[in-house]
Amino acid sequence: MMNCAESREQLVLHIEQLLDESEERRLAEHLAGCRSCRAELKELEILQQRLASSGRVAAEGSLEEPVMDRIIREQNVRLKSAAQAGAGLCLRRVLMKSPMTRVAAAAVAVIACVLAFSMWRDTTSVTLAGVVAKVEQIQSYLYRESATTRDQSGGDYTLEATVLTSNVYGVKTEQTTVKAGNGQETRLLMYLLPRKKSIVILNLTEKQHGRRELDDATLANMKIDTRDPREMIKRLLACKYSELGTAVIDGVTVQGYATTDPAYLGNTGENLSARLWVDVQTLLPVRYELEMDIREGVHISAVQEGYQWDIPVVAGDFEPDIPADFTADPMDGTPMPSYSDQGMIDALRIAADFTGRYPETLDHDALQRLVKAMTDALDREDGNPAVQQFREELKNAGSKEAAMRVSQGRFMKLMTLTMFPLMLAGQGAEPVYHGDVVTPSDAELPLMRWKISDGQYRVIFGDLQAETVTADVLAELEAALPK
């Protein structure tokens, strides 16, 4: 029977169709009973497919283009030295026989990168590329998080949380937030349930519960969570980072990595500093640290630790148990704001209908100014149709509680104005907003745009119509913007 070491030596040749029938049969028998080798083969096949077009990485799947670019750069020295030490014989064999290499010189890059991918798999040194591959195989995990927010205007807060994540069942978070000034404590138990497309929140302090419904776009965006350690590692690999050397944490020898690159979190903050410490034996994270200014006067510091990887979970771990003495909160059963292009359009329309213009920016302060402007509009008798319609909805709600649901539902939609761009930035989609120069009457001008693939951009125009355009068309549109 073939063992795992022999199997890994055969995987690249299998992909390149260079094994004879007996070798293919032995490899197939081994793969049938070995989950880890099947996972490695799948990753190699994905990598090959992404590199097959002129040796470039397609921007889809779990290893994005900047990540794979970093892998290639990081392994270049190993590839050259290995070739000089004898791996060149294997490379020449592949170059001579592979159907891919006979098509174009671009296939040379394909093979070189596939070999590099295999080589860092076999090395005992720690690379972030190796950590990415390791955590991608994790199906469930748990960690502890501690965070402190220092807000010069709103006071300081501390947060302690335990997060349990399953690729199948969702995310369960137990967290306690304490306001430093008066010691006020809020304890929450939250469930993100992808199968039910909802979030369930139990406020253990107020003895309330509530369910928020999610649309497909919002659910998909929530899966790309900056608190997810797997996502954070891939983001780190995709930006500028440095190695910190080794240290010992809780008796474990770890390798450290650090970045101060604002692109790490999509340029969503300033004075950023992130550190990741990885077990040199298991290639799994042990501790993660983050500090940044999320806006002027507000500084956050956070630590994740106590990771437990691939722990057993069952469906019952993610089934909310609502105590009998809990009451439904005012927003129970309402949909979450849609973090999508349609959700963005809806929120911009509310702003324009109430105030006659779009917010100049999409930051936290701009949202506060918008809410104040909308509240002021409700207090005026100026004949604004949107304001009159909103008053009628509140009047016809039937009860104070129902009116509160209507009001909060309308204002919650505005959260998309800040949250959606942050999500896009975190995903590397490069969102740009032109609300300072584009008005509701500018039907031909781009109000907002973001990247959806190489050379393709989604654009929301001043009349709130949306289109997908090429980079060349976008350049023409933005050239027409008022200076």
Locate the domains of the chain by residue range.
4-123, 140-328, 341-479
What local confidence, expressed as pLDDT, does residue 19 receive? Answer: 64
What local confidence, expressed as pLDDT, does residue 89 receive? Answer: 33
b or e along 8-19 (b: 16 or more beta carbons within 10 Å of the residue's beta carbon)? Answer: bebbbbbbbebb
Please give the Cα distance from 226 to 238 (Å, whole number): 14
Encode pLDDT of 254-312 as tens digits: 999 999 988 787 666 788 899 999 999 998 999 999 998 877 778 889 999 999 999 99
Encode pLDDT of 35-61 as tens digits: 767 776 776 665 555 444 333 333 334
The mean per-residue pLDDT over the stretch 451-479 comes to 93
Q: Which residue has the higher pLDDT, 455 or 218?
A: 455
Q: Which residue has the higher pLDDT, 5 or 80?
A: 5
Written as one letter, the residue type at 441 is: S
Please give the Cα distance from 202 to 186 (Å, whole number): 11
Any residues with CB less than 8 A from the CB of 240 and at least 6 apart, and which? 259, 261, 263
Instruction: Compute how many other C-beta atoms are within 10 angstroms of the C-beta atom of residue 48.
Output: 18
Helix (H, G, I), strand (E, B) or coil at 136: helix
What local confidence, expressed as pLDDT, does residue 63 receive? Answer: 44
Written as one letter, the residue type at 228 is: D
Written as one letter, the residue type at 60 is: E
Q: Which of 50-64, 312-326, 355-369 has the highest mean pLDDT?
A: 312-326
Give, rounded to a whole angstrom, the gap between the first and last alpha carbons of the chain.
71
For 178, list phi and psi in degrees, rounded to 5: -125, 130
CA nearest to 63, candidates 139, 115, 129: 129
The mean per-residue pLDDT over the stretch 185-191 comes to 91
Please give the Cα distance from 359 to 421 (Å, whole number): 13
Look up residue 162 and give its DSSP letter.
E
What local confidence, expressed as pLDDT, does residue 352 receive? Answer: 92
Q: Which residue has the higher pLDDT, 47 or 163?
A: 163
pLDDT band at residue 154, thresholds of 50, 70 and 90? low
How far lies 12's CA from each of 8, 103, 111, 123, in Å?
8, 18, 9, 16
Judged on CB neighbours under 10 Å (0-12, 13-18, 19+), 22 is: exposed
pLDDT band at residue 338, thresholds of 50, 70 and 90? confident
For the entire predicted model, the pTM comes to 0.61
Structural tokens at position 366: 């701009």
The mean per-residue pLDDT over the stretch 192-218 comes to 87
Average pLDDT, the chain: 76
Any residues with CB less than 8 A from the CB of 102 and at least 6 apart, and which? none
Does the domain made of 140-328 have the CATH classification 2.50.20?
yes
For 227, list phi and psi in degrees, rounded to 5: -85, -10
In this structure, of 90-104, 189-203, 349-363, 396-410, the range with the lowest mean pLDDT score is 90-104
Instruction: Compute how many other C-beta atoms are within 10 angstroms of the C-beta atom of residue 408.
Output: 13
Residue 98 has pLDDT above 70, yes or no: no
